[in-house]
Amino acid sequence: MITTNIDKAGDVLNQGKLVVIPTETVYGLAGNAFDENAINAIFSLKNRPKSNPLIVHIKSLEYLEKVASHIPEKAKLLAAKFWPGPLTLVLSKKPEISDLITAGKDTVAVRMPNHDLTLSLLNKLDFPLVAPSANPFGSISPTCAAHVMHYFENELEVVLDGGDCTIGIESTIVGFEEEEVVVYRLGTLPLEEIEAIVGSVTLKNSTSVNPQAPGMQERHYAPNKQSYLTENVDQFLMLNSLDNVGVISFQSEILSPRISQQIVLSSKGDLKEASRNLYKAMHQFDLSSVDCIVFETFPKVGLGLTINDKLKRATTQKQ
Ligand code: AMP
Ligand code: MG
């Protein structure tokens, strides 16, 4: 059932069952972080390997102490600046945090989401919520309730409808090595904004550097249709003789008879607007009659770097 009733969502969670929650990044498949049955249910519904840890969602900055055993100074600075918001901190875990959540690691990923409905729900509960994105493992993340229903219509009692995600791209995930900031997953919050608070950071977001790290499979966030990424769409279509193509471009419309459908993500060239529309465009083409999807590379600055990283993963061919 799609609803905005947080009392109903709270009842379902208190019974140990799962609820889909809206956040500013993407929709999450949530359960009681202190209930191992609920955590197991998340992994099985998503078909997510147990080696892939989950994010704990908390209601306040103060609550962080109940989840993490050590909070580096730079983590405090970042949480104070960016929470509630699209920044996930990976910190040493308290013993109460289940190994199922952390995939056996001694660190836990935690964030405070910036969405009124979900914060109100968290305030009603006496436990934090553990939640990965509400999509089958490897698929495109949902940015509205309809996407979630498409994936899990018959499996869920409650999908909380918080409208379209205002950001629409996953959180940036940072950890700490010797108290210094390491970025494990590029996300909505640009590195420049993090560096403005804590000084320069190290980027370790590839499987070769850190195979255990966040959402870093080479193929991820992927449409089912054959997908490609190119700097020059027109030339790419000609060289590869593709037809009945769906094109997702950043700012400008591309004219070519080979293109059947086209989505321009932000005609005014706004990276935030483009990222908000990206997953919706992928979902739309996956359900449409186009034979394949061609993405245009984004400008290589700020959020554009994050989106290019995701597009690279989305267009990596299936093994
Ligand atoms: P999702 O909510 O689907 O975007 O996924 C949550 C992400 O957080 C996953 O990509 C996890 O790999 C990552 N994550 C969760 N816990 C940890 C941790 N302890 N260390 C590193 N990454 C983590
Ligand atoms: Mg995900």
Ligand 1 atom at minimum distance from 88 CA:
8
Q: What is the dihedral of CA 213, 214, 216, 221, to 10 degrees?
A: 170
Report how far ligand 1's centroid is from the alpha carbon of 226 (Å): 26
- CA 181 centroid distance within chain: 20
- The ligand with the least distance to the CA atom of 213 is 1
Q: Please determine, for residue 216, whether its predicted confidence score (pLDDT) is greater than 90.
A: no
Q: If you search the block for the tokens 């593709």, which residue do you land on?
A: 242
Ligand 1 atom at minimum distance from 135 CA:
3
Q: Please determine, for residue 115, whether its predicted confidence score (pLDDT) is greater than 60.
A: yes
Per residue in 73-109, pLDDT (tens digit) is: 999 999 999 999 999 999 999 999 999 999 999 999 9
Ligand 1 atom at minimum distance from 108 CA:
19
- The ligand with the least distance to the CA atom of 215 is 1
* Spatial distance between the Cα atoms of 262 and 285, rounded to a whole number of angstroms: 9
Q: What are phi and psi of 180, to 5 degrees?
A: -100, 150
What's the start-to-end Cα distance of the chain, in Å? 36
Ligand 1 atom at minimum distance from 133 CA:
3
Q: Please determine, for residue 212, whether its predicted confidence score (pLDDT) is greater than 60.
A: no
Nearest CA among 288, 284, 283, 259 for reference residue 296? 259
* Distant-in-sequence, close-in-space partners of 91: CB < 8 Å, separation ≥ 6: 64, 67, 68, 69, 70, 71, 72, 75, 107, 108, 110, 175, 176
Report how far ligand 1's centroid is from the alpha carbon of 86 (Å): 13
Q: What are phi and psi of 122, to 5 degrees?
A: -60, -35
pLDDT, average across residues 109-126? 98
The average confidence (pLDDT) of the chain is 93
Q: Please determine, for residue 313, whether its predicted confidence score (pLDDT) is greater than 90.
A: no
Q: Please determine, for residue 37, whether its predicted confidence score (pLDDT) is greater than 70.
A: yes
**Other C-beta atoms within 10 Å of 256: how many?**
16
* Spatial distance between the Cα atoms of 78 and 209, rounded to a whole number of angstroms: 24
- The ligand with the least distance to the CA atom of 135 is 2
Q: Residue 30: its pLDDT value, please?
A: 98
Q: What single-letter DSSP state applies at residue 133?
A: B
Q: Residue 205: its pLDDT value, please?
A: 79
* Spatial distance between the Cα atoms of 203 and 191, rounded to a whole number of angstroms: 9
Nearest CA among 174, 169, 177 for reference residue 305? 169
Report how far ligand 2's centroid is from the alpha carbon of 9 (Å): 22
Query: What residues flank ion ligand 2 with Cβ within 5 A?
Result: 133
Q: Side-chain half-sphere of 214: how many Cα atoms within 13 Å?
A: 28
Residue closest via CA to ligand 1's atom 5 equals 132
Ligand 1 atom at minimum distance from 54 CA:
15
Q: If you search the block for the tokens 């005609």, which residue do you land on?
A: 267
pTM for the structure as a whole = 0.92
Helix (H, G, I), strand (E, B) or coil at 233: helix
Q: Please determine, for residue 220, whether its predicted confidence score (pLDDT) is greater than 80.
A: no
Residue 90 beta carbon below 6 angstroms from any ligand 1 atom: yes
Residue 217 beta carbon below 6 angstroms from any ligand 1 atom: no
Cis, bond preceding 84 (omega within 30 deg of 0): yes
**Identity at 152, one-letter amino acid code:** F
Nearest CA among 100, 113, 116 for reference residue 32? 100
Q: If you search the block for the tokens 């193509």, which residue do you land on?
A: 245
Residue 215 beta carbon below 6 angstroms from any ligand 1 atom: yes
* Spatial distance between the Cα atoms of 176 and 180, rounded to a whole number of angstroms: 5
pLDDT, average across residues 38-44? 98
Domains of the chain: 2-203 (3.90.870.10), 226-318 (3.40.50.11030)
Enumerate the β-bridge partners of residue 57.
111, 129
Question: Are the CB atoms for 175 and 53 separated by under 8 Å?
Answer: no
